[in-house]
Amino acid sequence: MKKLINDPKDVVPESVTGFVAAHGDLVRAEFDPIFIVRADAPVAGKVAIVSGGGSGHEPLHAGFVGYGMLDGAVPGPVFTSPTPDPILAATKAVDGGAGVLHIVKNYTGDVLNFETAADLAAAEGIEVRSVITDDDVAVKDSLYTAGRRGVAGTVLVEKIAGAAAQRGDDLDAVTAVATKVNAQVRTMGVALTACTVPHAGEPSFDIADDEIEIGIGIHGEPGRERIKLEPADSIVDRIIEPILDDLPFKSGDDVLLLINGMGGTPLIELYIAYKHAAEVIEERGMHITRSLVGNFTTSLEMQGFSLSVLKLDDELTELWDAPVQTAALRWGR
Amino acid sequence: MKKLINDPKDVVPESVTGFVAAHGDLVRAEFDPIFIVRADAPVAGKVAIVSGGGSGHEPLHAGFVGYGMLDGAVPGPVFTSPTPDPILAATKAVDGGAGVLHIVKNYTGDVLNFETAADLAAAEGIEVRSVITDDDVAVKDSLYTAGRRGVAGTVLVEKIAGAAAQRGDDLDAVTAVATKVNAQVRTMGVALTACTVPHAGEPSFDIADDEIEIGIGIHGEPGRERIKLEPADSIVDRIIEPILDDLPFKSGDDVLLLINGMGGTPLIELYIAYKHAAEVIEERGMHITRSLVGNFTTSLEMQGFSLSVLKLDDELTELWDAPVQTAALRWGR
What are the pLDDT digits (tens) for A220-235?
Answer: 999 999 999 999 999 9
CA angle B1, B215, B304 (to 5 degrees): 45
Q: How far is CA B167 from CA A171, B18, B65, B314, in A?
A: 42, 30, 16, 16
Indicate if B45 and B93 belong to the same structural domain.
yes
The mean pLDDT of B195-212, rounded to a whole number, is 95
Of A2, A78, A271, the CB nearest to B192: A2
**What is the pLDDT, as a whole number, of residue B144?**
84
**What is the pLDDT, as a whole number, of residue B333?**
63
The mean pLDDT of A231-245, rounded to a whole number, is 97
Indicate if B21 and B113 belong to the same structural domain.
yes
Surface-to-core class of residue B250, CB atoms within 10 Å of its CB (0-12 exposed, 13-18 middle, 19+ buried): exposed
Rounded to a whole number of angstroms, the distance from the CA of A300 to the nearest CA of chain B is 5
What are the pLDDT digits (tens) for A288-301?
Answer: 999 999 999 999 99
CATH number at residue A149: 3.40.50.10440
Q: How far apart are CA A161 and CA B266, in angstroms?
A: 27
Residue numbers in A near B257 (CB within 8 A): 22
Task: Answer for the pair A212, A190: CB distance below 8 angstroms, yes or no.
Answer: yes
Q: What is the DSSP string of A98-166?
A: S-EEEEEES-HHHHHHHHHHHHHHHHTT--EEEEEE--B-S-SSBTTBSSSPP-THHHHHHHHHHHHHH
Q: What is the DSSP string of A26-39?
A: TEEEEETTEEEEET
What are the pLDDT digits (tens) for B48-85?
Answer: 999 999 999 999 999 999 999 999 999 999 999 999 99
Q: How far is CA B260 from CA A64, A211, B12, B271, B308, in A?
A: 19, 30, 22, 10, 8
Indicate if A140 and A280 belong to the same structural domain.
no
Indicate if B135 and B203 belong to the same structural domain.
no
Q: A271 vs B58: CB contact, 8 Å cut-off?
A: yes
Task: Answer for the pair B48, B165: CB distance below 8 angstroms, yes or no.
Answer: yes
Q: Where are the alpha helices (DSSP H) in chain B?
A: 11-22, 84-94, 108-123, 153-166, 171-184, 232-246, 267-283, 314-321
Q: B4 vs A293: CB contact, 8 Å cut-off?
A: no
Q: How many CA atoms lie within 13 A of B131 on its CB side?
A: 29
The mean pLDDT of B171-184, rounded to a whole number, is 98
The count of domains in chain B is 2
SS3 of residue B177 by DSSP:
helix
Residues 6+ apart with CB under 8 A from B277: B236, B240, B257, B259, B307
User: Using the 8-state DSSP alphabet, how is residue A47 labeled?
Assistant: P
Q: To the nearest whole percent, how much of chain B has pLDDT over 90?
A: 96
Indicate if A23 and A135 belong to the same structural domain.
yes
Active site residue A102: no
The mean pLDDT of A188-211, rounded to a whole number, is 95
Q: A265 vs B18: CB contact, 8 Å cut-off?
A: no
Q: Is residue B80 part of a domain?
A: yes
Q: How far is CA B192 from CA A57, A198, B210, B216, B227, in A?
A: 20, 15, 9, 10, 10
CA angle B21, B23, B27 (to 5 degrees): 100
Rounded to a whole number of angstroms, the distance from the CA of A145 to the nearest CA of chain B is 24
Indicate if B232 and B312 belong to the same structural domain.
yes
Which of A166, A183, A200 finishes a domain? A183
Task: Answer for the pair A187, A153: CB distance below 8 angstroms, yes or no.
Answer: yes
Q: How far apart are CA B144 and CA B149, in angstroms?
A: 9
ipTM score assigned to the predicted complex? 0.97
User: Using the 8-state DSSP alphabet, how is residue A229 labeled?
Assistant: -
Which of B166, B183, B200 finishes a domain? B183
Residue numbers in B near A60 (CB within 8 A): none
Maximal CA-CA distance, chain B: 55
Q: Is residue B97 part of a domain?
A: yes
**What is the pLDDT, as a whole number, of residue B1?**
86
Q: Which of B166, B12, B24 is nearest to B101 (CA)?
A: B166
Count helices and strands in chain B by DSSP H and E runs = 8, 14
Q: How far apart are CA B218 and CA B261, in angstroms?
A: 11
Indicate if B22 and B162 belong to the same structural domain.
yes
Task: Answer for the pair B160, B319: CB distance below 8 angstroms, yes or no.
Answer: yes
Task: Write the single-letter amino acid at B71.
Answer: D
Q: Is residue B269 part of a domain?
A: yes
Count of residues making up chain B: 333
Q: What is the mean pLDDT of chain B?
A: 97
Residue of B4, B16, B204, B274 to mutate, testing the A interface (most A Cβ within 10 Å of its Cβ): B4
**Confidence at A41, pLDDT banded by 50, 70, 90:** very high
Indicate if B133 and B15 belong to the same structural domain.
yes
**Confidence at A247, pLDDT banded by 50, 70, 90:** confident
Q: Is residue B141 part of a domain?
A: yes
Task: Answer for the pair A25, B292: CB distance below 8 angstroms, yes or no.
Answer: no
Q: How many CA atoms lie within 13 A of A278 on its CB side?
A: 25
Of B22, B288, B303, the CB nearest to A301: B303
Indicate if A40 and A150 belong to the same structural domain.
yes
Q: Is the predicted pLDDT of residue B222 greater than 90, yes or no?
A: yes
Residue of A6, A34, A236, A268 to mutate, testing the B interface (most B Cβ within 10 Å of its Cβ): A268
Q: Is the predicted pLDDT of residue A114 greater than 90, yes or no?
A: yes
Residues 6+ apart with CB under 8 A from A89: A30, A33, A35
Q: Which of A328, A6, A13 is nearest to B292 (CA)?
A: A328
Rounded to a whole number of angstroms, the distance from the CA of A180 to the nearest CA of chain B is 24
Q: How far apart are CA A38 and CA A33, in angstroms?
A: 16
Q: Is residue B261 part of a domain?
A: yes
Indicate if B153 and B296 belong to the same structural domain.
no
CATH number at residue A305: 3.30.1180.20
Q: How far apart are CA A310 and CA A254, in angstroms?
A: 9
**What is the pLDDT, as a whole number, of residue A333?**
62
Q: To the nearest whole percent, how much of chain A has pLDDT over 70?
A: 100
Q: How many CA atoms lie within 13 A of A64 on its CB side?
A: 29
Q: Is residue A41 part of a domain?
A: yes
Q: Is residue A232 part of a domain?
A: yes
Rounded to a whole number of angstroms, the distance from the CA of B29 to the nearest CA of chain A is 14
Cβ pairs A/B, distance under 8 A: 194
What are the pLDDT digits (tens) for A263-293?
Answer: 999 999 999 999 999 999 999 999 999 999 9
**What is the pLDDT, as a whole number, of residue B142?**
81
What are the pLDDT digits (tens) for A115-137?
Answer: 999 999 999 999 999 999 999 99
Active site residue B199: no
Indicate if B161 and B231 belong to the same structural domain.
no
Instruction: Give percent helix, percent strand, percent coil of chain B, each to the nearest 5.
Output: 35, 25, 40
Residue of A267, A270, A298, A331 to mutate, testing the B interface (most B Cβ within 10 Å of its Cβ): A267
The mean pLDDT of A184-211, rounded to a whole number, is 96
The mean pLDDT of A235-258, rounded to a whole number, is 95
Cis preceding linkage at A33, omega within 30? yes
Indicate if B35 and B166 belong to the same structural domain.
yes
Of A4, A55, A265, the CB nearest to B301: A265
SS3 of residue B221 by DSSP:
coil
Of B2, B21, B229, the CB nearest to A229: B2
**Confidence at B251, pLDDT banded by 50, 70, 90:** very high
**What is the pLDDT, as a whole number, of residue A1?**
86
Q: Write out the residue range of the structural domain in which residue B312 sits.
A: 185-324
Of B55, B209, B272, the CB nearest to A14: B272
Which of B136, B151, B183 finishes a domain? B183
Q: Is residue A320 part of a domain?
A: no
Catalytically annotated residue among B23, B61, B102, B219: B219
**What is the pLDDT, as a whole number, of residue B83?**
98
Task: Write the single-letter amino acid at B14.
Answer: E
Residues 6+ apart with CB under 8 A from A313: A254
**What is the pLDDT, as a whole number, of residue A161?**
99
Q: To the nearest whole percent, how much of chain B has pLDDT over 70?
A: 100
**What is the pLDDT, as a whole number, of residue A143?**
82
